[in-house]
A and B are shown apart, each in its own frame.
Chain A
Amino acid sequence: MYLYHGRILLINLTTQEVKVEELSPSLLKGYLGGVGLATRLLYQYSPPRSDALSPDNPLIFASSALAGTIIPTSNKHAVATKSPLTGLIGDSISSSFWSLALKRTGFDALVIKGIAESPTYLFIDNDIVHFKRAEHLWGKGSPETERCIRSDIGDNRVKVASIGPGGENLVRYACITNDSNRQAGRTGTGAVMGSKKLKAIALRGTRPITVNNLDEVERISIDLIHKAEGPATEKYRVLGTPGNVLVLNRLSALPTRNFQQSSFEKAESVSGENLAEHYLTKVMACATCPVACGHIYTVAEGAYSGTQWELDYESLFALGPLCGVDHIPSIIKAAELCDYYGIDTISTGGCVAWAMECFEKGLLSREDTEDIDLTFGNHAALLEVIQKIGDRSGIGNLLAEGVSIASSKLGRNSEHWAMHSKGLEFPGYDPRAMKTSALGFAVGLRGACHNRSPAYEIDMSGEVDRFKGELGRGSKVVEKEDFAAVLDSLIICKFIRRCFGDFYSEAANLYTQATGMDLTPSELTAAGERINNIKKAFNIRQGWKPGDDWLPPRLFSDPITDGEGKGTVITEEELRLMIDDYYKARGWTAEGLIPEEKLRALEIEVSIAPVKGLEYGTQVYNL
């Protein structure tokens, strides 16, 4: 077995105990790595219905199966924990040199439990774990934390993953940042880290990495690198993901002013094209990525002159059109602020947009906002509120809870425009204009997410009527979800997916050449299904209910206001129809539970301790 180490590191912050446990090759092959392995370990090490911010909730970092090598975009890792935002699976991916260092420490995953007595950071120096004091780092943003830790240790090669003040203050959508500006962004993994008083994890991994067949791995990698220099990744290389703004605007799918509109009259000014012409100064890449999608924009004049930060489509949409903001310098500044605090830009934008609507409808007063004029388009207000969220001060304390909790606290019908599924704020695709996506967001295992359920591709492909929900979408969504799970576990970045021809056979071969473990295309396909099923099993064990697979009221009652698809809403009937179709395609029960025979067919291991006495899906636990 190459590439895998067959062992994980268990760290208890309360007792400062460290233990190494072995992982079997069959388990590694069955869950690949990344999200798959992290979720599998989460299922094993987390108690049912624990509080996400309690010491019992494990915070898990799992290396990509293929990390450590030249395989393009493979240097990634996944984080999994129970999400404080959704109460369900919180899995998130980040990448670059920290991920590479994790592989080179000699562990396939880190499982961290407990709560440190005082602010702490971990320094994992290959086999040796140091618990270090972090009082001097508390309150610092990630880039500064990284510099301080490197200076403390006296080695510039040390790689650091850390939380910012947002994670320390338990903002429910705080992220974990590594390599200065790479984030495990969604579902609030940073808040879990903050609850453990764990400021950072510094790694010095220096083990050389060997693969089973170096020549073959290199041949395949070089081929992928060359393909990634061509049309297969052009979109990500040239304009970067901000190129989506005008495309989605034309499709009436650009969520604007908290989904009150589906297109933005000032889309041109926040377009990738405009950014490229007036603000783009550099592109940067993650480790071993030939694409370099990281577009860095610079503000040359005005109040934020000198601000230089990276923006992707999701940050741009959430801090721009979703809040009615078209002032690019402020959007760049807002992204920088979110990254300083270490809070997810999508959820932040979603929360600010929800609050803006509450303010305009009179549910939040100037007294509530401490005199901030929180109207749509007020970019100065956006920046002020981001700081309040990061500090959990004033109105920020409510918004730091995420729109689901915030709207139930505020009440007065504000749930109507709380745009989330299972607590996770929507990404930048309006599901009224993308009904396959609507299904994907409704059933999404971590909530509304375009990465775990890239169903928007089906709507954008032209192969379906995207304004209509119908039978047959269930299996299409399943296929996309399982494909995403495989990519998220191998891990290979979605941005090079088009560099593959027959993905499953090429990726299975690459895996075999790299690890030396024979993997067939059908086994790889089955791994995707297995991973999504164990996620679902985790959700059920944490208290998922059938009614959780649904969408916010606005999407059923407020039609698209103009442009293509004007007048379209999602009907409850069509969503129900698609959800039933999806459960059927998954082989689940009509209530969305996993039958025991399904788990057996997927070879979800019997070693997982049985858990009894739960309301739903008891068959899941009688393995």
Chain B
Amino acid sequence: MERKYITCNPELCTGCGICEMVCSAEKEGVYCSELSRIHLVYVDEKTAMSIACRFCENTPCISACPREALEMDEVSNVIRVNKMRCSGCGWCIEACDFGAIVLNRSTKSVVLCDLCEGRSQPKCVELCPKQAIKVSTLEIEAQSARDKVAKTLL
């Protein structure tokens, strides 16, 4: 299966952060942006976007883990954390280029996006009021870029 991930269109994102709220409530039962699996970033007053795990092909986070606590699911491509193995050392957090992994201090293990497995679609996608967040694949994104550029070329 082609790998899916959450992407955010900064042209549509208004920086409201509802995604962070709904994520931490869904996953942790509290409102806490630090425990959200999706992270809102402001570039300046008028530019914001949310970032979650992209499930990279070469998974630097998995390579970085000294305890083999991270594992990519062969079917869904989602990265799973083995809480028994994870020591919360944070090497994976440093290895990630996107800051997509965070440490849950109470469980002493890391957490990251799992595309809300078991739900029809991730909760952040469902509730983004501007439809700025969606689940996509690299092929979908590439095709839409090609479509867009072709219109400007012809």
Contact = CB atoms under 8 A, between A and B. Distances in A.
Contacts of A296: 45-46
B29 A210 contact: yes
B89 interface: no
B28 interface: yes
A287 B30 contact: no
Nearest to B30: A208
Contacts of A69: 21, 31
A228 interface: yes
A341 B25 CA distance: 39
A225 B30 contact: no
A42 B22 CA distance: 35
A295 to B, nearest CB: 10
Interface residues of B, number: 25
A212 interface: no
B140 interface: no
A292 B129 CA distance: 9
B17 interface: yes
B127 A214 contact: no
A611 B122 CA distance: 58
Given A68-B31, A70-B22, A208-B31, A282 B16 contact: no
A1 to B, nearest CB: 16
B22 A287 contact: no
Contact of A284 (B15, B21, B22, B32): B15
Interface residues of A, number: 36
Given A97-B17, A284-B14, A285-B15, A218 B30 contact: no
Contact of A292 (B14, B22, B25, B32): B14
Contacts of A225: 18, 127, 129
A143 B45 contact: yes
Contacts of A143: 45
A616 B35 CA distance: 54
Contacts of B17: 97, 287-288
16 contacts: A69-B21, A70-B18, A143-B45, A180-B45, A206-B32, A206-B34, A207-B32, A208-B30, A210-B30, A225-B18, A281-B46, A285-B14, A288-B18, A289-B14, A290-B18, A308-B46
Interface of B: 11, 14-18, 21-22, 24-25, 28-32, 34-35, 44-48, 127, 129-130
Interface of A: 68-70, 72, 97, 143, 180-181, 206-211, 214, 218, 222, 225, 228-229, 281-292, 294, 296, 308, 310
